[in-house]
Amino acid sequence: MFFILFTLVVTNLYSQPGTIDSTFIYDYGVPYQQGNVTCSAIQNDGKIILAGTFTSFRNLKRGGIIRLNQDGTIDYTFDSNIGFSDVIYISDIKFQNDGKILICGRFTEYNGIIKNGIIRLFPNGTIDPSFNIGTGFSTPPNEPKKILPLDDGKIMVCGAFQSFNGIPINGIFRLNSDGSIDESFNIDETILNYIIINDFEIQPDGKIICVGGLNVPINGTYCNGIMRINNDGSLDNTFSSGIGFETNIPNSYISVSCVKLLENGDMLVGGSFSTYDGEPSNNIIKLNSDGSKDNSFNLSIGSNENNSIVRKIIIQPDGKIIIGGLLVTLNGNNVSGLIRIDNVNNNLETDFNILGAGGYLTILLNSESKIICSGAAYAYSNMQLSPFRLNSDGSFDTSFDLGFDINDEINSVDIQNDQKIICGGKFTSYDNLSRNRILRLLQDGSTDPSFLTGLGFNDEVKVIKVQQDQKILVGGLFTAYNGDSCNRIVRLNSNGSIDNTFDIGTGFNNTVNFILLQSDGKIIVGGEFTSYNGNSCNKLIRLAGQTHTFF
């Protein structure tokens, strides 16, 4: 059996009152996830955002983004609606001090609104309209790869692009807090060739270490893969990197993927390379603050016989080094996709050997040095599909639980005032019980036996909305509920029975996709229909709260 190796994440969780109730536990079923998790991030409250190319996550329909609680369960308060409907790749997620969420990557819209390559969300997942990027990045292949909010509110962005909002910009630039370009930051004209910057680190003095696919003239010598620029974007010629990174591996390519700044000003650099300034250095190297090689660091990952690549480096508080990527050998010994090196003599910790094979990994670290793996890892000791959490020694953390015993997609979720959870979708069973396209869960994650749906719906549920009076509006493809006719829309009482005061007549002639509730009780419905109760209406209608009257 082969699984796709998704992203690996080490999080930064904080234990405090008000966190998720650990008694809310789903039994592990067969995970179901359409697409990849490509990046992730951890909030100060310990919640975890996963983003990527997926269209559903654990059978819950989600467009490329979802938030988990600390214990791994889905956070239904994060309302991403349809999310990224055209996502190709999401590269990075960062949090501002005010809790707003910055996201960059190869996408063009979020919740149906054009957002080319960069977006800022409120903590609840809705768009922050005050962040105006104009036309943003042009269509792919232009791709921002890393985004970083600064203490002064400005935002650094790097990647593979040549323009932003119609203005020529190569590789790296800085935004003001409102999304406009910071014109005080200008890349030196001598390096305005097409450059790709995969990662950067900002030194305490404001200088910026950049790594990626770049070839810049430093003191008359062209340097591959690394440069240092000043806070205003000008090239720092005091950084002595010589000819930089190269590879002598046949049919391979050079890619400098990541850089990690150390407390003393030195730095670790990882990627796919075989030399630095003409000296052997396989895929990982330690540089002094001036750019010269630190010869005391003698790790070698991969060789001419295998195409290893280091994609992420993390330094633990105790100085130990976590390395993730496509790792085949370390100093000639076989290793896995995630390894840890001690801080004394750079020896491999043999007990910390997480994945039997590696790939594209993202790593973050929490206060307990625990590791969360998002995606589907293979050749792990117990073949546990992710997301899963590892203890600091690499053992499986059973307190982190995420799994649905459900047989098909969940399209819509809403929460009642009593915190019970209403789910609708394509599924026909949950926890080995028949549940046709709708179910209600108690706060502990078990099915609510008081919610009596009988035969349920005869076809897919697209949307569920709980009214203020706790009655439940349901829309979709269905034409019957519990054996009673109801074409594409119905309102249920809190016990699951049909509310007959909501008179839809013959209902809709085609699918209902969206339902919105106005404060005055009126109901906006959108979908693929062209008539309602025999009256012409093209895809959008507003209904009164109690009758079939429409506006």
Peptide bond into 141 cis (omega under 30): yes
Same-domain status, 12 and 110: yes
pLDDT in tens, 318-370: 888 888 877 777 887 777 777 888 876 777 877 665 554 444 455 666 666 77
CB of 478 closer than 8 Å to CB of 486: yes
pLDDT band for position 381 (cuts 50, 70, 90): very low
Same-domain status, 188 and 159: yes
Give a yes or no: residue 550 inside a domain. no
Give a yes or no: residue 254 inside a domain. yes
Report the pLDDT value the prediction gives residue 379, as an integer from 0 to 100: 34
pLDDT in tens, 43-54: 888 888 988 888
Q: What is the 3-state secondary structure (H, E, C) of 87-120?
A: CCEEEEEEECCCCCEEEEEECCEECCEECCCEEE
Count of the separate structural domains present in the chain: 2
For the chain, give me the number of helices (H) and strands (E)?
0, 50
Q: Is the pTM of this model over 0.75?
A: no
pLDDT in tens, 54-74: 887 776 778 889 998 887 778
Nearest to 372 by CA among 70, 19, 24: 70
CB of 76 closer than 8 Å to CB of 68: no
Residue 405, burial from CB neighbour count under 10 angstroms (0-12, 13-18, 19+)? middle
Give a yes or no: residue 551 inside a domain. no
pLDDT band for position 3 (cuts 50, 70, 90): very low
Same-domain status, 308 and 430: no
Report the pLDDT value the prediction gives residue 23, as an integer from 0 to 100: 38
Give a yes or no: residue 346 inside a domain. yes
Same-domain status, 433 and 363: no
Give a yes or no: residue 509 inside a domain. yes
Which domain-ending residue is among 376, 397, 418? Answer: 397
Same-domain status, 392 and 473: no
Same-domain status, 417 and 385: no
Average per-residue pLDDT in the chain? 80
- Cα separation, 403 vs 386, whole angstroms: 9
Give a yes or no: residue 404 inside a domain. no
What CATH number is associated with residue 277?
2.130.10.10
Residue 185, burial from CB neighbour count under 10 angstroms (0-12, 13-18, 19+)? buried
CB of 32 closer than 8 Å to CB of 410: no
- Cα separation, 126 vs 67, whole angstroms: 13
Report the pLDDT value the prediction gives residue 387, as an integer from 0 to 100: 54
Q: Which residue has the higher pLDDT, 106 or 14?
A: 106
Nearest to 326 by CA among 348, 299, 303, 358: 358
- The contacts of residue 129 (CB under 8 Å, 6+ apart) are none
Helices in 109-261 by DSSP H: which ranges? none
Burial 238-276 (b: 16+ CB within 10 A, else e): ebbbbbbbebebeebebbbbbbbbeeeeebbbbbbbbbb
Which domain-ending residue is among 352, 372, 397? Answer: 397
Give a yes or no: residue 216 inside a domain. yes
Range with the largest mean pLDDT of 7-11, 127-131, 394-398: 127-131
Give a yes or no: residue 257 inside a domain. yes
Neighbours of 483 (CB within 10 A): 9
- The contacts of residue 17 (CB under 8 Å, 6+ apart) are none
Beta strands 535-536 and 531-532 are: antiparallel
Report the pLDDT value the prediction gives residue 399, as an integer from 0 to 100: 64
Asked if pLDDT for residue 185 goes beyond 60, the answer is: yes
Same-domain status, 338 and 414: no
Same-domain status, 419 and 510: yes
Which domain-ending residue is among 348, 374, 397? Answer: 397
Domain that holds residue 471: 410-543
Nearest to 371 by CA among 379, 384, 362, 359: 362
